[in-house]
Structure 1
């Protein structure tokens, strides 16, 4: 259970899964004071906040520091890595590895122009060619040959380049989970692993009923957790496919949409607010289904 401040009220405790980029913050920018305040309020109310991201663990830990979250759980690499933070330190509690060899061999044959990164848990990436620094969190080590990308186990591969997303069906045919993050970016994780599978395991571990789950996200790699949660909230900047997977929507990341949801969860009458959300109890949050 995430530690909360003395006096926290836990009667209405929820598990709240939070995407990072495009949800809690704009990539490359610091979180706003509204988001930081809402996170503090939700934690004080006793909720179990879980950062659930496509970022590597090192990138997620960096974001946790920006968000002033020092303890609790992280779901990184789209569910392939789970860790528990404790006052500045962390422990990896779960990891699933991808068959990097099959993916790398396929990509280097059909699209040798694409860049490939293999995540190294807690450190950074081995890369076929250096990525722009703003695209990957953590140290990049360029390998001498493609074989070196699979010499060590990895939970996640990132494939980057023009129209990289066209490879998604073929990579899925190899038995992997391939997620189109952008037209030029694909995340590859083990088959059957997602943010939702990791969150369900955590939910059972911390003993929170499924009916008390919330997820907030903006991208295609959030679809599984938005569908999994009892209350799936799409950001205002989310594409239509993501909004369809959610049953609520909020403002965009630029307008602190996630903060609005977290603030509502910190209110003592949150259950009533849930019942009337699509009816105007908060005009900034509306039902989408």
Structure 2
């Protein structure tokens, strides 16, 4: 944005790698303060994350957010921040994508979100990777119940190997993104992304498209950055994310988000 008088009204913020430093597991004091200055200055902050509702809760607590909305599971779940209940949920049929990923990633394990409870898993995930309870199940049992989010993890592999195996692949009846920290595929309903969910929320809130801002660092943030009138990629993010943004901030370890927000709300 070149207009010196411009300020964003709807501010969409990714969590891991944007608000929160994955190396420390913390949101810095500088970033917290900048977020609250943005709210005090009239911005509506929408935490927008690939995490489930359970995973987003501690972040909302740490930021001391008590109203508004958050987007969880890459936009499949709209969370009412005040009540911590889902205002809307989109689910999809897991069977076709389970079959395709099992064939392309031999040895893959799955976790399907069990809203507000945890995940149904085909093998145990490390505790720090999933929020809530893990309920063991078979792939066939997993396929029988629609879910808002599916995680496919390829244990013992590198994220780059997942990217290579799925290069150019269109998985059936879903939207998927890859992770640059873990050998993961995150799958949501077809057509659902942070960007699509934010556009729906923007229209419902009556915010002009020209008054939107987003910041993120991952492949699952690309649609959100393209959606925003001003999209900011975090410095440590990959080249594809930088290319989708209007601007590249300093890395999360250097409080890059705080510096950007303080341009308008400092």
TM-score normalised per structure 1: 0.82
Is 1:98 aligned to 2:92, yes or no? Answer: yes
CA distance in 2, matches of 1:127, 1:54: 17
CA distance in 1, matches of 2:33, 2:105: 45
CA distance in 2, matches of 1:265, 1:159: 39
CA distance in 2, matches of 1:36, 1:152: 38
Q: Determine if contact 1:235/1:258 at 8 Å carries over to the other structure.
A: yes
Could you list the per-position Cα deviations for residues 99-138 of structure 1 after superposition, in whole angstroms to 9, with x for gaps in the alignment?
A: 2111223333443411111011122111111111122222
Q: Determine if contact 1:124/1:140 at 8 Å carries over to the other structure.
A: yes
Counterparts of residues 31-110 of structure 1 (less than 5 Å): 31-86=27-82, 89-110=83-104
Residue 151 (structure 1) shift: 3.3
Q: Determine if contact 2:100/2:171 at 8 Å carries over to the other structure.
A: no
CA distance in 2, matches of 1:139, 1:178: 24
The corresponding residue for 1:14 is 9
Unaligned regions of 5+ residues in structure 1, if any?
1-10, 268-289
Cα–Cα, structure 1 residues 53 and 29, in superposed 2: closer, same or farther, change >3 Å? same
CA distance in 2, matches of 1:149, 1:173: 17
Could you list the per-position Cα deviations for residues 180-214 of structure 1 after superposition, in whole angstroms to 9, with x for gaps in the alignment?
A: 11361111111111101100011011111010000
Query: What SS class does the counterpart of residue 17 from structure 1 fall into?
Result: strand
Cα–Cα, structure 1 residues 165 and 123, in superposed 2: closer, same or farther, change >3 Å? farther
Cα–Cα, structure 1 residues 137 and 165, in superposed 2: closer, same or farther, change >3 Å? farther
Could you list the per-position Cα deviations for residues 223-257 of structure 1 after superposition, in whole angstroms to 9, with x for gaps in the alignment?
A: 00101100000111111110000011111000011
Query: What SS class does the counterpart of residue 232 from structure 2 fall into?
Result: strand
Q: Determine if contact 2:55/2:131 at 8 Å carries over to the other structure.
A: yes
Count of residues in correspondence between the two structures: 254
Instruction: Tell me: higher relative CO, structure 1 or 2? Use CA pairs within 8 A at least 6 residues apart.
Output: 2
The corresponding residue for 1:25 is 20
Residue 265 (structure 1) shift: 2.7
Select 1:135's aligned residue among 129, 137, 141.
Answer: 129
CA distance in 2, matches of 1:236, 1:50: 21
Name the stretch that deviates more: 16-25 or 90-99.
90-99
Unaligned regions of 5+ residues in structure 2, if any?
1-5
The corresponding residue for 2:146 is 153
Counterparts of residues 248-263 of structure 1 (less than 5 Å): 248-263=247-262
Cα–Cα, structure 1 residues 171 and 138, in superposed 2: closer, same or farther, change >3 Å? farther
Q: Determine if contact 2:8/2:213 at 8 Å carries over to the other structure.
A: no
CA distance in 2, matches of 1:122, 1:262: 31
Runs of 4+ with >6 A deviation? none
TM-score normalised per structure 2: 0.89
Residue 169 (structure 1) shift: 5.3
